[in-house]
């Protein structure tokens, strides 16, 4: 008889909240960098600027909105991905093929992106509900959903696949080192996949009517050259990779100590 632990549907949301508490200052600086019209400051310069002007606690400005986003966006995508994966895994012999993980990740991420748009909107800019109304809360929902799909493919599908490959070598067991390595790879994949959409999404959410839509924003950004889509790639990686690593380490620990016990 072997004992296996399975994740509960809400673990992904909890793990993401834990990771968000650690990486929130990097996220805040990334938004500041992407919304400056010309490149005036780099990452360290922007951090110093924020601390000098508003104090150290300003780096945690909007943490409640960030946690609200994780409990809507991340909870939804993890719940969909992990529940369906575990259901299919219990009926099939062996792990899911990679293309199925990608499709499931895209669907979970797209749904999570839509559900999390209002919290993301609050997180991205100072937003007054009474003045701007409920429609503005879902401004940029298509972009947020597309980005959610890309991130989830990069994080969840690539994490599962990387972990499967690492364990398949027989050199490492199912331990924290395997989780770290797999999640580091997944974070890199997610950063590369979603950065162009991330740039467009931030520009759209912070626009004051200068873009007629996603296509117009895409054309205007393309005029700045292909590297404009990867503006802020290093800060995005510096935030998203640690966030991914922490999320999966927290998730695996939650699963290990509080997961559903399966005796087979």
pLDDT on residue 37: 66
d(CA 158, CA 155): 6
d(CA 183, CA 223): 35
Q: What percent of the chain has pLDDT over 90?
A: 44
For the chain, the average pLDDT equals 87
Q: Look at 12-21, 130-139, 194-203, 227-236 and tell me which has the smallest mean pLDDT.
A: 130-139
pLDDT on residue 30: 77
Asked whether residue 72 carries a pLDDT value surpassing 90, the answer given is yes
| CB 112 within 8 Å of CB 80 | yes
d(CA 168, CA 4): 18
Q: What does pTM read for this prediction?
A: 0.82
Q: Domains in the chain, ordered, with CATH? A: 9-258 (1.50.40.10)
> What tokens does 77 get?
């995508």
């Amino acid at each position: 008889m072997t004992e296996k632990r399975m994740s509960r549907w809400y673990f992904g949301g909890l793990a993401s909240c834990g990771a968000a508490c650690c990486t929130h200052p990097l996220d805040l600086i990334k938004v500041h960098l992407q919304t400056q019209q010309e490149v005036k400051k780099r990452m360290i310069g922007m951090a110093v600027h924020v601390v000098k002007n508003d104090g150290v606690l300003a780096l945690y400005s909007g943490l409640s909105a960030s946690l609200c986003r994780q409990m809507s966006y991340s909870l939804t995508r993890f719940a969909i991905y992990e529940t369906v994966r575990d259901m299919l895994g219990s009926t099939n012999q062996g792990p899911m093929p990679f293309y199925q993980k990608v499709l499931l990740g895209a669907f979970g991420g797209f749904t999570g992106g839509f559900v999390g748009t209002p919290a993301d909107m609050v997180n991205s800019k100072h937003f007054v509900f009474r003045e701007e109304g409920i429609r503005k809360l879902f401004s940029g929902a298509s972009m947020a959903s597309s980005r959610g799909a890309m991130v989830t493919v990069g994080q969840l599908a690539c994490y599962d696949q990387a972990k499967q490959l690492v364990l398949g070598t027989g050199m490492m067991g199912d331990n924290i080192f395997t989780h770290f390595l797999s999640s580091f790879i997944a974070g890199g994949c997610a950063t590369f996949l979603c950065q162009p959409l991330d740039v467009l999404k931030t520009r759209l959410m912070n626009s004051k009517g200068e873009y007629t839509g996603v296509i117009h924003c895409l054309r205007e950004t393309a005029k700045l050259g292909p590297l404009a889509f990867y503006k802020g790639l290093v800060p995005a990686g510096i935030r998203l990779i640690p966030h991914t690593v922490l999320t999966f380490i927290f998730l695996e620990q939650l699963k290990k100590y509080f997961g559903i016990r399966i005796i087979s």
